[in-house]
Structure 1
């Protein structure tokens, strides 16, 4: 039996990745699952993020998803490797789980002319050092500087990202990253929420610095993956359905989702996920 491609995030941010994937690969069916009832993941421990992520991935497998994309940098940093190396091999050897960090690391070096990249992310992603580690595998000569932006996700999820109050924290984190680092010419938004702040970021970004978000990169990587793995592609439903689920409140999810996904959606609440 064929099933949809699963796209997972701790909340709404993964919808920006889903939007890019659906635009590039419109012929597939998709199931989006946001763990809003337990979000945010950014400051949670490795153990907690792993347990929450694996629980959600198993639920998505139970809905028939043969392939799940962790469209969440924190989950990709703290849970993906363990799931791939341990749980999948033991319990779901025919299914696959992919993340957003590796495809980004494989391409980010192509954007920089100076060989210096800045990474903006949650505390969890920054502390994991996943980006410096992964980028070094593909671009060992690229220098990576990181900056955690702990207030950006709360601003976005409380619909304050367009307010005047958001300017202070956008400028603050950009200044902290770029101060004393004039060589940086590329900034990576290493959180799928952050594209909603691009208009604000652009106001304070010095000329000559390129801003990179992950949606198009992940979508291109997924297209390539499915071409290289026809055994997975053949198990994906092509009726072009889109389903949305959340562990939080469905009406609240629907209200916020349109800002991330670009259109109104209908969500279904899923119960039984304990904090």
Structure 2
């Protein structure tokens, strides 16, 4: 018997909307609740403990709203909080709930996109410093060399809607050059932050030929579809009205204006009040 619950999609800000867009397009029948923790965004430069605290608070809030399944559509949260939540919190407090991330689904398929067995990973400082991608990719493709590059200015540029302006060109070129200087064999670059797809037009304009630029949105949507096919016990708990709700811990008007850019359609959000 279907209980009408929702799939939760969480990000520290707007970037997760790029993932949610692909998920909603591929699996439109389900009910969804999106939560952006914009009041405390970006997460990238925070400590492990802070990111874990913030992520857990938002995940538990989504559980309270009736989401038995939550997707961390945030690389930093996936890198620094997912495993602890899965291993320490869910078994004790929420044994019938599940939390999934974006790193493992990406790592499972990344080897398919490189011929030279050398991939570049561009992400926030938090994601890069966690070493989550090299470790996870090694489980599936131990032959791959993973070269990482932190891009600390990209999220602020995107969240302030400056990413397509000429002023952003310097930082786009800077981080790309720094990555490619580390290894000449890189032939695939993973954008390991859900904000970064908004920079694809600028990146493609300066990317050397023979290098593939890879986003995560469709990969995560495909992985979620496969997960639901393999877990019918979860599917029966989910509503099939195609309902979508959006919440932000920040300013609603600002969220709605930015969300249109990331999600591709008008959004009307509601306020999520932080406990502290």
The TM-score bracket by the shorter chain reads over 0.9
What are the equivalent positions in structure 2 for 1:1-16 lying under 5 Å apart?
1-16=3-18
Partner of 2:93: 91
Partner of 1:272: 274
Corresponding residue pairs, total: 274
What are the equivalent positions in structure 2 for 1:110-129 lying under 5 Å apart?
110-129=112-131
1:34 paired with 2:36, answer: yes
Name the SS for the 1:179 alignment partner: helix
Q: Unaligned 5+ residue runs, structure 2? A: none
Supply the distance in 1 between the matched residues of 2:274 and 2:59 (Cα, whole angstroms).
14
Partner of 2:110: 108
1:154 paired with 2:161, answer: no
Supply the distance in 2 between the matched residues of 1:126 and 1:272 (Cα, whole angstroms).
28
Q: 1:182: how far off? A: 1.6
Q: 1:2: how far off? A: 2.7
Partner of 1:195: 197
Which of the numbers 174, 177, 180 marks the counterpart of 2:179? 177
Supply the distance in 1 between the matched residues of 2:82 and 2:66 (Cα, whole angstroms).
19
What are the equivalent positions in structure 2 for 1:70-89 lying under 5 Å apart?
70-89=72-91
Runs of 4+ residues deviating >4 angstroms? none
TM-score scaled by structure 1? 0.99
Partner of 1:258: 260
Q: 1:272: how far off? A: 2.9
Q: Unaligned 5+ residue runs, structure 1? A: none
Q: 1:270: how far off? A: 1.4
Supply the distance in 1 between the matched residues of 2:210 and 2:234 (Cα, whole angstroms).
41
What are the equivalent positions in structure 2 for 1:222-261 lying under 5 Å apart?
222-261=224-263
Supply the distance in 2 between the matched residues of 1:174 and 1:120 (Cα, whole angstroms).
8
Q: 1:180: how far off? A: 4.6
Supply the distance in 2 between the matched residues of 1:85 and 1:239 (Cα, whole angstroms).
32
Residues 31-77 of structure 1: CA deviation (Å, up to 9, x unaligned): 00000011110000110100110010000000000100000000000
Name the SS for the 2:149 alignment partner: strand
